[in-house]
Amino acid sequence: QVQLVDSGGGSVQAGGSLRLSCEVSVYTYVRYCVTWFRQAPGKEREGVAAIEPDGTTRYSDPVKGRFTISKDNAKNTLYLLMNSLKPEDTALYYCASDPGRCPLPWEASTSYNYWGQGTQVTVSS
């Protein structure tokens, strides 16, 4: 059973930064695709950023250039560094994972079997 624990959310003013963390409880996590999703009230869940087992990264257009996904294999932890935050980034953020390469398209939330509990990010103007 793979467990993901995400953390690091909070409240910040527009232009600020936050770093989210996702700890993955499987020793073979280096062979997993791990993706960050977010869901704002009344909106569908959307893919934000993904990292392949080989370290290749992918980003959605709204966050490209502002967010950075990375992983520390020694700590089994994935990070999402969010800079230049905007009020429209306000959402509940989830990390999700699946064995092997990321599904196609990587933004398809139904393709992921393992999910964190979510961490709230609120950006005020």
pLDDT at 28 > cutoff 70: no
pLDDT at position 27, please?
62
Per-residue pLDDT band at 60 (split at 50, 70, 90): very high
Which residues lie below 8 Å from residue 122, measured CB to CB, with a gap of 6+? 9, 10, 11, 12, 90
pLDDT at 105 > cutoff 80: yes
pLDDT at position 31, please?
83
Query: Residues of the chain with pLDDT > 70: what percent?
Result: 97
**Kind and range of the H or E run holding 58:** strand 57-59
The predicted model gives 57-69 an average pLDDT of 98
pLDDT at position 73, please?
84
The predicted model gives 54-70 an average pLDDT of 97
Per-residue pLDDT band at 34 (split at 50, 70, 90): very high
Strands 57-59 and 10-13: unpaired
